């Protein structure tokens, strides 16, 4: 089995920073893309940022210049550094990864349980 465990969410004032982490563990052969999504109440889940194994990254327009995604392949961990947070960034943030559990199967998509980010104005 594969688990994605997020940490780092919390309450921050507008303009502040938070760093989210997501560690993948379990039966893992390789990890392709890793990314972060978020979902605010009443809204659809949306992509925030995604990074490939090679390190290239894509961001939602709403977070460009404020958020930075990075990953440590040796630790199977992805990070999201969030700066200049705005109230509209408040949401549950979910880690996502495309993981191959063997060399001949997959990759399959896995999700973390989510971590709450609250931004006070």
Q: SS3 breakdown of the chain: % helix, strand, coil, rounded to 5?
A: 5, 60, 35
The pLDDT of residue 77 is 97
Q: Which residues of the chain have pLDDT under 50?
A: none
- Kindly state the tokens that stand for 84: 């200049």
Tokens 């880690």, located at residue: 95
Q: Which helix (H) or strand (E) holds 47?
A: strand 46-51
The predicted structure's pLDDT at residue 8: 96
């Amino acid at each position: 089995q594969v688990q994605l465990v997020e940490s780092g969410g919390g309450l921050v004032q507008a303009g502040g920073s938070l760093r989210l982490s997501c560690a993948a563990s379990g039966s893992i052969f390789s990890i392709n893309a890793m990314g972060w999504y978020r979902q605010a109440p009443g809204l659809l889940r949306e992509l925030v940022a995604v990074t490939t194994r090679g390190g290239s990254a894509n961001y939602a327009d709403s977070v460009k210049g404020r958020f930075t995604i990075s990953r440590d392949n040796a630790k199977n961990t992805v990070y999201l550094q969030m700066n200049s947070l705005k109230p509209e960034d408040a949401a549950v943030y979910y880690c996502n990864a495309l993981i191959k559990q063997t060399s001949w199967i997959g990759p399959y998509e896995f999700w973390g349980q989510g971590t709450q980010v609250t931004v006070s104005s």
